Amino acid sequence: MRKTFIAGNWKMNMTASEGRAFAAELTAGNLDKGVKILIAPPFTTLQAVAEVVKDTNILLGAQNMSDSESGAHTGEISPAMLKEIGVDAVIIGHSERRIIYKEDDSFINRKVKLALKHGFEVIFCVGETLEERESGNVENVVRSQLVGGLQDISTRELQSVTIAYEPVWAIGTGKTASPEDADDVHAFIRTEIEKLYDIKAADAVIIQYGGSVKAENVKALMSKPNIDGALVGGASLKFETFSPIVNYNK
């Protein structure tokens, strides 16, 4: 049975001192122990948060990672740098990286491979823009992102990959795909994973929904058979908005 996985992507928010204080609040909070929880602070905040969440049930994630081991890559962060401070997982292919920073599928695929090589879990993001949805291209876009991003990833390696479906038009806009629409795409993703791998892999893969998830809609989303968790943005920045999402089933 797939375990519920709630991840908080802090994006470009929280200094080291702010992140440390918030992480302490989370570790002391009454969060559902049956839910897998991850928080992903900015790079400069990771070390401070790592010290707080060490030996707790809260996993530490990075929001991005270089596609190279080391070298002349100004402004980049290597897997070894993340590993040494205790990072457990890396978010790769987030729509903001794809759209703002022009990361394509082959570049994202290199990052996925490198992250898995270094023993990280990966949250691999896919999703369509509003224009792509309105033109009826949701399945084509998502299929292309899955095939490109997971190229040469083995069935064994896939066990360390969580897929996050994030409709771009619903991120930070307050708009949310209906639970039914979201589940339809999640079911499509599961079918595509079966084609790329096998039915066992498709049944096992965790697929999160990301797109203006909040306390008011999480229960309806999580009631759907193919939605296994959430990749949360703005609502992950405060205890009073993040904890109800983690504790949606209480």
Q: How far apart are CA 95 and CA 193, in angstroms?
A: 20
Q: Would you give the distance in Å from CA 3 to the centre of its chain? A: 15
Q: How far apart are CA 170 and CA 154, in angstroms?
A: 31
From the list 96, 121, 128, 166, the catalytic residue is 166
159 CB neighbour count, 10 Å cutoff: 13
- Predicted model pTM: 0.97
Any catalytic annotation for residue 69? no
Q: How far apart are CA 122 and CA 160, in angstroms?
A: 6
Any catalytic annotation for residue 186? no
pLDDT tens digit sequence for 2-49? 999 999 999 999 999 999 999 999 999 999 999 999 999 999 999 999
Q: What pLDDT does residue 81 have?
A: 98
Mean pLDDT of 170-192: 89
Residues 6+ apart with CB under 8 A from 28: none
Q: What is the fold of 5-246?
A: TIM Barrel (3.20.20)
